[in-house]
Structure 1
């Protein structure tokens, strides 16, 4: 991931989004992975940056579904 990309991550049962390279979260927290991913993907598309999903154990097995650059998600 490059600085400025959006990362959706899981910590202590709660999902968050953050901008890579920053320590603070982006917006609110989520109980649902799907909700956090949706918001993270939208934020990445709006900023035209990449998006990834990470669990406490490391990158998720399905991270490739989110590794496309946000410009590719804009129809």
Structure 2
């Protein structure tokens, strides 16, 4: 991908537009359709390429900071990761 290219993809069930090299323009959307529409509009406005990476529907948007999940993990003494790494993934960290 070239700087400014827009990629629409699902990240943990939430659709996002990732802008190569311009992370401040990257955003999340409530639906796949909305993300694709906005991705196309952004790519057209900036004269860049738009790519959609399809994903299997999960039916669930996961929330890595779900308070109930975090409380359960604290009670069980586990954070869900064998290595203790943080599960939060920023849009900038997407491949």
Q: TM-score range by the shorter chain?
A: 0.5 to 0.7
**Structure 1-normalised TM-score?**
0.61
**Structure 2-normalised TM-score?**
0.50
Q: What is the aligned partner in structure 2 of residue 14 from structure 1?
A: 14
Segments ≥4 residues shifted beyond 2 Å: 21-25
Higher strand share goes to which structure? 1
| 1:1-75 to 2 correspondences below 5 Å | 1-22=1-22, 26-27=26-27, 29-55=28-54
Larger radius of gyration: 2
3-state DSSP of counterpart to 2:29: coil
> Where do 5+ consecutive residues of structure 2 fail to align?
57-95
Cα deviation 1:19-44 (Å, max 9, x = unaligned): 123556623x2231111000000000
> Where do 5+ consecutive residues of structure 1 fail to align?
58-75
C-alpha separation in 1, matches of 2:46 and 2:25: 16
C-alpha separation in 2, matches of 1:22 and 1:47: 12
Aligned-residue RMSD, C-alpha: 2.2
